[in-house]
Structure 1
């Protein structure tokens, strides 16, 4: 039984390492495209649907635009959104969750009402409605996704804080005169860290999928800016003539989600 546990832990560590390496590869690809200083929106109608080659590493699309430059820009956009959404949602959710779990009463009740209202509507529908108000706005997409994702951090941190608030360790720390910041750093955060980081990895993957979903229905990032969901829709009519073009944004989207899910690890 102990050997099985060790094998599972080793497999989980290897999966996380592979996820980190895969994410580093994707980040490197996005930075290489930025360093090339090639305009991803520049059209060359004499080089339409070119296959991968020396001039166009990943080929060119139906407007003759460099696919490597476009995928690099789309990767930078998706990864940037994932990072800022996770940072904002986790920070707000954890702070409010700890405060609600610690103080309770009217503050806890008020925040729970807000959370229940947000949970009454499916996350993707909320993001679609919010983004449709300002089509093409990166800020609107970011705010909508962050508003959806902070709820999970709030619920987990609130629940764990409530269960730990009356523990002997925290009560002793209070009696000894330690402040709440010290108690959070040395007692609450070590317990919160693992579930919060796991949710952050899954949340980053979901943020990327949310953005791609908006591109499918034309309320996400608008042309000529590159975005994976938008690129999939644009290139779909050409899958018969140039199947490698459609495969590229699909593969990048799958790899980003896979990388974050591997980093999250298996908690069973």
Structure 2
């Protein structure tokens, strides 16, 4: 395989309560986890066990972190793959790349996290050659999902659900929508991030109607500015004292 895959093995054990999300998302993730952990009970009554989740919503709202948390909860390796990295210009090679990827996940009994899922499952029409290739890729993914090995848990994520073929969407038992956090959730997130710094650096101007990723960048930049300003003041005082002593 010529594409790059990222194997995420968390050194820190995340839990679902570490995921900043509204009650609806938390309930859906907890239900999936409960179902999989009690799969033997479901098998006893010939009830199917859900093994496929589709995360959708704006970038930076917690999709990747939720996948990491589920992997930690289940004590599984998370294989994270950006699907744009395995699209091949060679006709037909993309489908083979996907098949190899699913086989790798099967052997390692991993959770397979397909990011930017819309990059391979697009229904947007361009020229006939590309549309034909995309249809072949969509059909290949459908076949791989329909024959998903019991040792694989599949999570797909997209920022553009409207670009995904409905036949693919239907294959996922759980569809979890991640939205921009409410002000209350953002306040909790700000408090969590700011708790990593001394109290004198925690008074920042907070922005709302933004993603968690944007809020994290804001915290870092605001705290960094205060740290540098404090450093300048300390150095200025030191230089003043040195000059006074030299006289």
Name the TM-score class by shorter chain.
under 0.3
Normalized per residue, the structure richer in strand is 2
TM-score, normalised by the number of residues in structure 2: 0.25
TM-score, normalised by the number of residues in structure 1: 0.23
Normalized per residue, the structure richer in helix is 1
